[in-house]
A and B are shown apart, each in its own frame.
Chain A
């Protein structure tokens, strides 16, 4: 089922939660709404489900306007961050709930419901847990029950509100891969709300980055990661070093050789901010080019697949983070206190809007 969000605005009192949001989701896509807490992503999801009403704008599901339709008419499945399971019902009864509350004429027979529940529990790999109560399950298992329960009514659209937010890191990783596989099997249109950029980039077909009620960028994980449209997106999608400076006629005044967006060449002098990802910084122990930045190694963390360094430099008020491969680190033989020279392999400059 395709989704069209058309100029949706939502206010809570004087606070604008969603500001003229537009979004199109193709049938069968899995979309991640990504942003920090309070950016409006959950509100957008709840508006799609019918749990909230937009103040302005319209929602279309499969080409039909549903802005004023009730929740039950929308055929959406909703998965909550804190599972929202019925704790006085067994796992099987939880999953069967959506079927047992159907009007008598549409309700499947008891045998058919049981069959369906078994099918779904097999799908979420919890066949053995059918007679348990939710309190007897782990967080990951509970969320799988919640998912099976939402899928039982065969929704056209699956909405997931930070479904893995309350789980620990390892379970979260397992579950999101499992969710991706499940989505590939079922081809159901899905929208996943998350504040975890790694989760969004790994699971979704497309990512919608939101900030303060606005959509900052919509694109495939590659697009948003490689070509962030705004400073916010750049900073939100992964670690980043920020260098503040001024530029004149499209060139940084400190004379560094940079790739600068041509559209800014005509601005006489602007404050600018440069972003460099830690893994885009190259280190050498001796100066090979005059544009390199001199820095001193302060901290080294060798735990993990890559080595993380923190450097101090006159050019930056904050410590500069650098990520190296283990091989490169061994080659350089770096110790805290060593002087190194930095060169960005890739960077992005944004003009700071005049305030």
Chain B
């Protein structure tokens, strides 16, 4: 999106398309979100502050943002490996695995949540064995992490994959002729090239996880102060007709998400602006 008009473009339609963009974004994003702020403004600062800093709310922020971040980082690592395997190797079943990656996108989140809960419950397929080691996944914060990792996976794979595909083979060959082994080539040559795409993927997985509701509530157990995510807390408040309380929490999530997204964008811009200004 270009909001700053530096000079008249040779392409026609700038006014029209920018006008449409602003109108559309207003309709879809800005107006509903400003409604959130307007509703919240019924509260005084003191009330607002009190409402968003209850111990229950703070515990839910910690879980939501913490689990989302860890999930996004896990996806960053394993998503990259999956993208690597899909791009670099030709093996039977590759197309199948490629399609499998998109499943967390397509699956209704509730289905995902129920499935995960069933598998990881202490009498489930996996939960049964994890139980032997004293690891409880379902109905604990760990379950939240599992759900958030599950739904974030496609974002990393799908952003890293095309970049990896377009990576110049000659650059790797150059590194090899200069005496670098595979590992050195990977760390010094491939990772820096993937870095911006990887950051984007992690940011998207994170953003998705912060907003996730459906899959989490089935596996989380939803115990206040322990395994309750902020979206669920908002839901609870709505069910109690506490609309301003819900919107206040909504504002917090909105602001934090926006700041984080902005920070990641800046980081990405900084890492790519230095040497790819062409």
Contacts and interface: CB of A to CB of B under 8 A. Distances in A.
Interface of A: 49, 51, 71-72, 76-78, 80, 82, 84-89, 97-98, 101-102, 133-136, 146, 149-150, 152-153
Nearest to B274: A133
Contact of B275 (A71, A88, A146, A153): A88
Contact of A84 (B174, B188, B274): B174
29 contacts: A51-B173, A51-B176, A72-B177, A72-B179, A72-B181, A80-B170, A80-B174, A82-B168, A84-B168, A84-B170, A85-B171, A85-B174, A86-B174, A87-B276, A88-B192, A88-B276, A89-B275, A97-B175, A97-B178, A97-B188, A98-B180, A101-B175, A101-B179, A101-B184, A133-B274, A134-B275, A150-B178, A153-B178, A153-B179
A72 B178 CA distance: 7
For the complex of A and B, 3 pairs with smallest distance between CB atoms = A98-B178, A84-B170, A133-B275
B177 A77 contact: yes
Contacts of A153: 178-179
A149 to B, nearest CB: 7
A86 B172 CA distance: 9
Contacts of B278: 135
B189 interface: yes
A86 B189 contact: yes
Given A51-B177, A72-B176, A82-B168, 9 more contacts: A80-B173, A84-B168, A84-B170, A85-B171, A86-B175, A88-B193, A101-B179, A149-B174, A153-B178
Contacts of A149: 174, 178
Interface string B242-278: 0000000000000000000000000000000011111
Contacts of A101: 175, 178-181, 184, 188
B interface, by DSSP: helix, strand, loop or mixed?
Answer: helix
Contacts of B275: 87-89, 133-135
Contacts of B277: 135-136
Contacts of A134: 275
Interface residues of B, number: 22
A152 B278 CA distance: 27
Nearest to A87: B275
Nearest to B170: A84
Nearest to B183: A101
A133 B179 CA distance: 22
A76 B178 CA distance: 8
A135 B181 CA distance: 26
A31 to B, nearest CB: 18
Given A84-B170, A88-B275, A133-B274, A71 B177 contact: yes
Contacts of A85: 171, 174
B263 to A, nearest CB: 21
Given A84-B168, A87-B275, A135-B276, A102 B174 contact: no
B180 to A, nearest CB: 4
B174 A78 contact: yes
Nearest to A132: B275
A98 B188 contact: no
Nearest to A161: B170
B177 A86 contact: no
Nearest to B275: A133
Nearest to A71: B176
B206 to A, nearest CB: 24
Which of A97, A101, A146 has the most chain B CB within a 10 Å cutoff? A101
